[in-house]
Amino acid sequence: MTADLLHAAIDEATLFDAWRKVRANQGAAGVDGQTIEQFGTNVLGRLQTLRDHVRRGEYRPQPLLQWAIPKANGKLRYLAVPTVRDRVLQTAAALVLTPLLDRAMEHASYAYRSGRSVQMAVARVAYWRDQGYQWVVDADIEGYFDNIPHGLLLDKLRRTLQDHSLVPLIELWLAATIQPADGSPPYLLTKGVPQGSPISPVLANLYLDDLDEAVLARDMRLVRFADDFVILCRDPAQAQQALELTEATVEALKLRINREKTRLVHFDEGFRFLGVDFIRNLMLAAQPGAQPWVIPDATTRQRAALHDTPAEAPDTDRHANEPPEPMVGETIHATTPPVPTGSQRPVGAYDGMQPYDSSFHANNDTDATAEDDPEPRIQLQHDDRLPPLLRSLVIGEHGVLILKENDRIIVARQGSELLSWPLQKLDEIHITGNALVSTALLRQCSRDGIHVTVSDSTGINHAHLGAPHPLADAHCHAQQVQRLADNDWSLMMARAVIHGKIHNQLCLLRRYNRRRRLTPIDQAIEQLDAMRSRLATTQTLDQVRGCEGQAARAYFGALHHLVPPQWTFEGRRKRPPTDPVNALLSYGYAVLHRTMVTLLVRQRIDPYLGAFHAPRAGHAALASDLIEEFRAPVVDTTVVHLLLSDTLTPGNFDTECGTGTVLLDKHARQTLVQALHAKLRSHIVHPSAAARMDYHRAMLWQVRHYRGVLAGRPPVYTPFLLR
C-alpha cells in the first residue's frame, strides 16, 4: 500500500483534519466503548499509530455497533456505528475521494455534494416543470442503502478512479462485521453500505451515477437526491420510456424498483418529492421541515436554472466529505448534558456546550395556544422545520478564554476545552460573561462578517464588532438622513411602530384574559384601545411618545394581574430593574435589540438613525424602533410563560449590593436565552407577506420593508401585527 491516494489519506494533516471533523460531529462510542473524549487524549500518538498500522498493512477495522432506531411510521432504521478510530480513517478517505468522485458525477445529483442542497433539488424540479416537462416518473428503490452489491460498487469505484490504492481499505469497510447493540449474535455484512459510516454517503451516491448517465443520455430531465429521484418528461410516451429505462438500469445494478411506490404521474395529479407536494403549479410543504424549500431564494433559483454549482459555494445540508450527522435522536444542549455511561450511550447524542442554532423550539407561541390550554408549559422539542436564519453562539461562562484555532472558535477554561465550533456555521456571537477574547478571533469574525457583541449581566450591550465596511451603504444612509429630516415621514414611522406595539400588546392581553375575565385586564384593554385610536390624531413625536407611555403603564399594570404574586411585580422598572420580572424583561429586550441590530447591519442599514426613539450617544435607535412591534409577541410572551409554568423561581435571581439591581443567575440566563431563541424559531403567518415563517424571518421581512419605505416603495410603513 504505497500509492498517492493512500498516502494522501494517511498524511498527518489529513488524519488530523479528519479527527477534527469526527470530534465536531461527536456521536456514540463503537464496540470498543472508546468515546470521542477518550480518543482525544494523546490524539497525535493515536493518529500516528493508526497511520503506521495502515502503512504496514496491519490495519483491520473493528465490528460496527448496530442500533435499531424507531421511525415515525413504526418501522425500524438501523445505524451501524464504527469505532472512533475507524471513523477517523474513513473520514480521511472521504476527504481525499470526494473531490475526485464529485467531478465524475452528473449535474442532476444533489445529495452529499458541496454547493448543492435539498432546496436546489426542489427548485430544479420546479424549473423543469415551468419549461414544459409536466409528466413525471416518481420512482422508489427498495431498501437502496441496504442492498447495494459490493462487487458492482467496487467495480464502479475502480472504473472511476485511476489510483486504486484506497480500494482495499474500502473493501474492508464494506465487508464489516455487524454487532447488534441488543446482544444478538454478530453477522457479516454481505451487501449494502452501513448507514452511520462516514464513507457510505459518497459510495452510495457514486453507485447511482450509472442511472444518472443512462437517463440523461436519452435527453430526459432527472433530479436525484441520494436514492430519491424523479424523471421529468414532456409527454406520457416519453415518461413510459423513462420508466422502462429506469427499471432496466436499476435491475442491471442488481437492485429492485418498488412497484407499489413507483408511478407515472402528471403535475395536475400531484406527487411528493423530498417532503414537498407538487400539485399543478403549487409547491406545498408536506412536512414542517420542508417549508424553506418551497420558496427558494434568488441564488438557488438561478443555480437551478443554470446548473451553476461552484465548488466554493456553501453546502447548505452539510459538507460532502464530513461524516454523516446523526440521523435520529440528536439533541443539542447549551451546557454539558448528562451522558450515559458505557457502550449504551444513545446514537447521536452530543456532548458539550453548543450554539443556539436550530435545535429546540418552545411550545409557547400565543398564536397557536389552544382554547382549552391558554398556558401550556414550555416543552423543548426537536425543531427541524426551518433552517436557522441567524446561527448564534451565546457564551455566558465567566473566566473563560475565547480564541480561534484554525477555522473554529474555542472556549476553554484552565486548559480544558468547553466548546469547539466551526466559525463558518455562525452568524453572531454574544459574550455575556467576563472572558478573555483573542484578537485573532475578532479579526477573523470581522473578515467573515460574524457579528460579535459584548453585554453585561443585565443584558445591556456595551460593544459590537461587525464587518470592516461601514454600517450602511452610502445611498441608504443618505436616504435615512433625508427621510428623518422630514417631520411628516418621521411622524408616520413613529405612529406605525407604536401602533404595532399597542396592537400586539392588546392581542396578548385578550388571549390571556379569554378565560380569566379579570376586570383590571379588561380595563387595561380599553385604555390601550383608546391610546391606539388616539395615535392617528397625534401631530408631533412627543405626542406619540405620550400615547406610548400611557399605553405602557396600562399594559404592564395588566401584566401585574397575570404574574403569580410571589414575583412581586408592580409595573415596569427599567434602570435598574428592581425585581425579577423586570430583570427578565430587560434582558429579553436586550436580546431582541441586538438581534435587530444584526439584521439591520446585514442589510447595510444604519441601526443608529431612528424616528421614534430620541437619538443619544451609542444607542441604536432604529433597532429600538423596529423591535417595538415584537416586544409583546416574543419577549413578553416568553417571560410570562416561564413564570406561569414555574420554570424559574425567585431563587434564580440575585440583588446587587448598593444599587438594588436584580440580576439573573446562570440558570435563569440560560433558560431565558434558550427560550427566546426557541421563540424566535417558532412559526407564525406574517400578515403582510401572507406566508408562514418564524419570528427571525418576520423581523428580517420588516427590515427589508423599512428599506423599501425609505425609497418610497411603498410610501407608508406597515408594522407586524398579530392576528
User: Which residues are known binding-site members?
Assistant: 548, 613, 628
Strand 461-465 to strand 451-455: parallel, antiparallel, or no bridges (unpaired)? Answer: antiparallel
Rounded CA separation 679/55 (Å) = 53
Rounded CA separation 708/688 (Å) = 14
Query: Cα 334–336–337 angle (5° rounding)?
Result: 100
Rounded CA separation 672/679 (Å) = 10
Determine the 3-state secondary structure of 330 from DSSP. Answer: coil
Reply yes or no: is the peptide bond before residue 633 cis, omega within 30 of 0.
Answer: no
Is residue 701 a contact partner of residue 721, using CB atoms and an 8 Å limit? no
Nearest to 394 by CA among 343, 337, 355, 420: 355
Residue with cell 445505524: 79
Rounded CA separation 11/92 (Å) = 9
Query: Cα 640–641–644 angle (5° rounding)?
Result: 85
Q: How many CB atoms lie within 10 A of CB 67?
A: 22
Non-local (6+) Cβ contacts of 712 within 8 A are none
Q: How many CB atoms lie within 10 A of CB 263?
A: 14
Please spell the DSSP secondary structure of 468-534, one letter per residue: SS-SS-HHHHHHHHHHHT-HHHHHHHHHHHHHHHHHHHHHHHHHHHHHH--HHHHHHHHHHHHHHHH
Give the residue numbers of the binding site for Mn(2+): 548, 613, 628
Q: What is the DSSP letter of 90?
A: H
Query: Cα 585–588–593 angle (5° rounding)?
Result: 120
For the chain, the first-to-last Cα distance in angstroms comes to 68
Stretch (H or E) spanning 382: strand 380-382
Rounded CA separation 381/694 (Å) = 16
Determine the 3-state secondary structure of 179 from DSSP. Answer: strand
Nearest to 326 by CA among 636, 27, 722: 27
Stretch (H or E) spanning 556: helix 541-562
Residue with cell 448517465: 213
Is residue 462 a contact partner of residue 483, using CB atoms and an 8 Å limit? no
CA dist list (Å): 336 to 80, 333, 360: 26, 7, 16
Rounded CA separation 185/162 (Å) = 39
Rounded CA separation 591/396 (Å) = 13
